[in-house]
Structure 1
Amino acid sequence: MSTTTGSKMVRIQTSRLVKPLYDDDVDGGSIPPPTTDSIPLNIFDKVTYNTHMAVLYAYRPPTPSNATIELALRKVLATYRVMAGQLAENQKGNPVILLNDHGVKFVEAVVHDSFDKFLPLEMSPLLLDFHPELNHAEEITLVQLTRFGCGSLVLGYSSHHHVADAFSASNFLVAWGRAARGLELGSVPSMDRSIFWPRVPPEFGFDHIGVEYRKTKTLSGRIVDRDRFAGSDIVNHKVHFTLDFIAKLKARASAGRPNGVAAFSTFVSLVAHLWRAITKARGLSPIETTSVRISVNGRTRLSLDPPVPSDFYGNLVLWAFPTARAKELVSRPTGYAAKIIQDAIVRVDDAYFKSFIDFASQEAAEGEDGDLVPTADMGKAALWPDLEVDSWLRFPFYELDFGGGGPFIFMPSYYPTEGMMFLLPSFLGDGSVDAVVPLFRQNSAVFKQICYSLD
């Protein structure tokens, strides 16, 4: 991700590293924690995306001062030390998080115009101006506060995915807001990444090559027809699904379900609907197969003894891959796609997570020869004919309140990857949902025509 967009509207005022503020720094006395410790990445950290993930928040005035927000950040970093550390390798070449209190890159910027001049906030390269430069960033966490002439504030927040998944990142952000409001942070996060021990003997109940891992000699994903899409640009659509539309969609998707079987969820129904609409818009061949990569949170699925702490901080996600032929997907009702999605998600259960732990642990112990690499890859320009969906519907991102109220905009930053969708709750707070859908321009017109059709 780069902030080189040619825009002169966002002007950087200061840039510095913000370090944790320990109680000892205030009261004097005890020695702060050592800065020579490190935490090894766990198998879930290492199999996820090797990149920073960036989001944007927008606040209407009045908003707290930058100094208040910075002080709160320093306080919360004393509890979430990993966010102020750095990614590195230990002497054995294994990836670790250095607890060296390197600090968070903290940038202050201004825009003399009113924020309303930027609305509606489009998914465009302009969004990158609200973030520090992420290419070759040495920091795990990067923050930019951009003040507008009208008093509005945009927070650009980025953190490395190897350190925290969306569940953990949202908890860190909520704690940051609580610190700014003078409240207790809540439960202390568990940073113990050594809890995922393989079974003895290991049990490989599922195939993980071609799912979480691929061999380095194989292609990273399927080949996109480069001639067909040569010179194509990607259009990011933001689609708003009202509560009424969602209710009708869920009813249609769940029609014909056996008595006593629960209706499909909002998430499953929306993904089924979008999968069908995008397949139609892309004009896939009837015999083409298409799949959706869906994150599955292991915190409620993985049963360990002792159990995974409820406040575990790190990555604990695997993926479901519902797959169908384009012909069946577009010709059969929404409930067909919804059932494929639901069944795929259900299969990523306790047994699957444990099988992955056994497989990944053995690979780490015996096969660190570079033969296998994660399939999670942010380097792809297009996922066509497949999709990925990142759902933030259940995470408390909107609860980041520094003392002036919650944000009126929360959204992912600019990710120009065709087929990588985001689902997030609308700021209206009424149960409606916003979907960010990046497609090639030549497919976008059809998608816009059919995205609200229930057929």
Structure 2
Amino acid sequence: MFSTTEEDHLSLSDIIMPYVYIRSLLVYDYHIDDLEQPFNEYLHRFCPQAFKRIVDNDCYRIGGCIVDCENGQERKVFSSESRSNESVAKYFGNDTLDEDIFPYGIIPTDLSPLIFMHQIHLQDGTLLAIGCHHYLSDGHGLSTLGQQFSRWLHEKKSLSFDHDRSKLQHLASLSSIKFNHSEMSLIEPIGYSLFNLSPLDTIVKRYTKNYLFDRLNIKNKNEIVSMNDVLMAWLTQIISRIRHVSRQSTIKIGMAMNGRTRLPGIDTNYFGNCSFYLCRPFSMSDLDDLTVDELAQRINVEKRKFMTTEYIQSALAFINQHYRSSVIHLGWQATGGNDLSFSNWTQFPLYKCDFGQGGAKHFKLSSIQSDGLILILPTMNNNEIELYITLQTEHAQVLLGKLV
């Protein structure tokens, strides 16, 4: 038996996350002093859960919790190595990440830590490979943790995190299901697999808003359509055509949204997961017949209907009603098939972590190689984003020739 408080039980948002690490790489063009001692001290003071472990992987049904490690021993959260024969320039390219940068794979094990930092000393710079168990927190939580840690190094000040995971359960108990939550399903999507066995390629491209809007003839008369709306409309249209989806078919696009500040009592310092999903369908006939501008406006209008306090509280009530008896799946086919998944990290500027001579010069995110997964990442240029588009190799090759 484990002695836990209600705050240590995985929340209703934690348990719908994939059982993976969120892993990122920060590239610095200067040497950073060894961070082992301050990183351990910071986590002990502000995020002690990092040294614990999660029990009961089948937490959809019976409730997982965060507990102390066996015999009072803590998981090792920091490691380092020297690659003095390598230059930082090697890591400025747009290629995908090599696995040898990370001390742990994409899937956590029973012995791996909930948070880790791996510091690599280069000839003329430093790499920081950072990871967080997705049951512990989300992209917002990891980004905030990194930025607060770097600030604490200089100022010895840090915001205190809110670790009370019971808050979401409390909100769910006060809520009822008021919407049809198509973003979640009690039935596993046909043919679903976290890892696709087909050969995949990842395309990396950068765009500024002005360039993309100009090339795609986005009028945006009301100035409400975002670059995210345009990217989802354009890529869904062009990829669906490359996949030769029939006009009678429906394509679903799924995305995550941050519930912080939209829920009462949950602010930006909440450290557990507070991510929820949206799923919007498009008919292939509309994707064929409408312009990217028209599709982007539709996406903007549709998402605003659901990015509300009422909708998120209804989603919590849905999860609370079903998770004890059923596995809760995504409501779209997350890999393969006709559907697409979008993950936008532009509001999580982990690259701003400053360890003495400025923020990171490059930021990369390691993700599951999944057909139809599109990452939208921030860059050092506030007006520019970086796309990582993963598709079956044959589709990726066609797409590369069609991108503006």
TM-score by length of 2: 0.86
Tell me what 2:113 maps to: 139
Contact 1:243 1:430 in 2 (8 A): no
Q: Give the counterpart letter for 2:20 in structure 1.
A: T
Tell me what 2:302 maps to: 344
Tell me what 2:205 maps to: 239
Contact 2:40 2:77 in 1 (8 A): no
Distance of aligned partners of 1:403 and 1:89 in 2 relative to their CA distance in 1, 3 Å threshold: same
Distance 2:315 2:367 in 1: 32
Q: What's the CA shift string for 1:190-247, capped at 9, x where partnerless?
A: 1111223256775221234x532423xxxx324389xxxx974211111110343144
Distance 2:197 2:280 in 1: 30
Q: What number of residue pairs does the alignment pair up?
A: 387
Distance 1:322 1:437 in 2: 19
Contact 1:104 1:143 in 2 (8 A): no
Aligned-pair distance for 1:289?
Answer: 1.6
Distance 1:200 1:116 in 2: 52
TM-score by length of 1: 0.77
Tell me what 2:319 maps to: 360
* Structure 2 unpaired stretches of 5+: none
Highest RCO, 1 vs 2 (Cα 8 Å, sep ≥ 6): 2
Tell me what 2:401 maps to: 449
**Counterparts in 2 of 1:49-448, with a 5 A limit?**
49-61=18-30, 63-66=31-34, 69-77=35-43, 78-89=45-56, 93-98=62-67, 102-111=74-83, 112-117=85-90, 119-123=92-96, 127-134=98-105, 135=107, 136=109, 137-148=111-122, 150-185=123-158, 187-196=159-168, 197-198=170-171, 203-208=176-181, 211-215=183-187, 220-223=188-191, 232-248=198-214, 252-255=217-220, 261-302=222-263, 304=264, 307-348=265-306, 349-364=308-323, 368-369=324-325, 371-375=326-330, 382-427=335-380, 429-448=381-400
Q: Give the counterpart letter for 2:78 in structure 1.
A: F
Distance of aligned partners of 1:390 and 1:199 in 2 relative to their CA distance in 1, 3 Å threshold: closer
Distance of aligned partners of 1:335 and 1:93 in 2 relative to their CA distance in 1, 3 Å threshold: same
SS of the residue corresponding to residue 354 of structure 2 reads coil
Distance of aligned partners of 1:281 and 1:47 in 2 relative to their CA distance in 1, 3 Å threshold: same
Q: What's the CA shift string for 1:81-107, capped at 9, x where partnerless?
A: 122221114999521112557234322
Identity rate, percent:
17
Distance 2:76 2:332 in 1: 25
Tell me the C-alpha RMSD between the 2 structures: 2.9
Distance of aligned partners of 1:408 and 1:354 in 2 relative to their CA distance in 1, 3 Å threshold: same
Q: Give the counterpart letter for 1:395 in structure 2.
A: F
Distance of aligned partners of 1:231 and 1:377 in 2 relative to their CA distance in 1, 3 Å threshold: closer
Q: Give the counterpart letter for 2:49 in structure 1.
A: V
Distance of aligned partners of 1:373 and 1:57 in 2 relative to their CA distance in 1, 3 Å threshold: same
Q: What's the CA shift string for 1:240-283, capped at 9, x where partnerless?
A: 10343144268x3345x5xxx44301211222222222222323
Q: What's the CA shift string for 1:1-25, capped at 9, x where partnerless?
A: xxxxxxxxxxxxxxxxxxxxxxxxx
Q: What's the CA shift string for 1:157-195, capped at 9, x where partnerless?
A: 11111111111111101112123324411x211111122
Distance 2:118 2:343 in 1: 23
**Counterparts in 2 of 1:1-16, with a 5 A limit?**
none
SS of the residue corresponding to residue 167 of structure 1 reads helix
Contact 1:292 1:323 in 2 (8 A): yes
Aligned-pair distance for 1:436?
Answer: 0.6
Aligned-pair distance for 1:121?
Answer: 4.5
Distance 2:33 2:172 in 1: 51
Q: Give the counterpart letter for 2:93 in structure 1.
A: P
Distance 1:82 1:340 in 2: 42
SS of the residue corresponding to residue 322 of structure 1 reads strand
Aligned-pair distance for 1:355?
Answer: 1.4
Tell me what 1:14 maps to: none
Contact 2:319 2:328 in 1 (8 A): no
SS of the residue corresponding to residue 253 of structure 1 reads coil
SS of the residue corresponding to residue 167 of structure 2 reads coil
Q: Give the counterpart letter for 1:301 in structure 2.
A: R
Contact 2:343 2:374 in 1 (8 A): yes
